[in-house]
A and B are shown apart, each in its own frame.
Chain A
Amino acid sequence: DTGVSQNPRHKITKRGQNVTFRCDPISEHNRLYWYRQTLGQGPEFLTYFQNEAQLEKSRLLSDRFSAERPKGSFSTLEIQRTEQGDSAMYLCASSLDLYPYEQYFGPGTRLTVT
């Protein structure tokens, strides 16, 4: 049983560019979550999916951010027109659709915007 995987692990981009991250959840997990973690802070919730449906979005998820999970398997998180404030670790997690919905995290994608 493989865990949650994320690609790329690191991304350096220039301000104003678009970036896309990918998350592959644990295969039988139908819930998928995105979080953002900045240095010295705990992860902050961005959005989550149940199968292909995006059911909740945080106010942190500005219009420049979009997430998809087209076939209910992998998910992508795109940031358009990146800003220096977007520099962070982006974490993906998945869970079964079963109480208490234990979430298992991937290694994260570290984004640096220069």
Chain B
Amino acid sequence: GDSVTQMEGPVTLSEEAFLTINCTYTATGYPSLFWYVQYPGEGLQLLLKATKADDKGSNKGFEATYRKETTSFHLEKGSVQVSDSAVYFCALRLSGAGSYQLTFGKGTKLSVIP
């Protein structure tokens, strides 16, 4: 079945450091890929998405590129801020009719220290 694997956290970085959170997936066809962020005490917010191979999603300085050959969708940011401290979830939605549910990874907690 389909699945998403994220790097285990927690990840602790100093402010202005480079961030990479790895995400790989298993799925048939060409799923749509998403990153969600969950700030403390809040619901999940859609951060970015990509729907086909080589697409790059970007938002708020975060980027992720859909790599079909490596089945990956790694999240990157060039310079993190304390306000980026949150839990990040990678998710996929299978392609094809009738497939609307999201399959999530376990999440990666990021802590950014001043």
Chain A residues with CB under 8 Å of chain B are 4, 31, 33, 35, 40-45, 48, 55-56, 58, 91, 93, 95, 99-108
Contacts and interface: CB of A to CB of B under 8 A. Distances in A.
B43 A42 contact: no
Contacts of A107: 42-43
State the main secondary structure of chain B at its contact with A. strand
B93 A100 contact: yes
A42 B107 contact: yes
A56 B91 contact: no
23 contacts: A31-B100, A33-B101, A35-B102, A40-B106, A40-B107, A41-B106, A42-B4, A42-B104, A42-B106, A43-B104, A45-B101, A45-B103, A55-B98, A56-B100, A58-B101, A91-B44, A100-B32, A100-B49, A102-B34, A105-B45, A106-B43, A107-B42, A108-B43
Interface residues of B, number: 23
Interface string B81-112: 00000000101010000101111111100000
Contacts of A108: 43
Contact of A101 (B42, B45, B89, B100): B100
A95 B107 CA distance: 22
B46 A104 contact: yes
B49 A102 contact: yes
B15 to A, nearest CB: 26
A1 B91 CA distance: 25
Contact of A42 (B49, B89, B93, B100): B89
Contacts of B49: 100, 102
Contacts of A31: 100
B51 interface: yes
B23 to A, nearest CB: 11
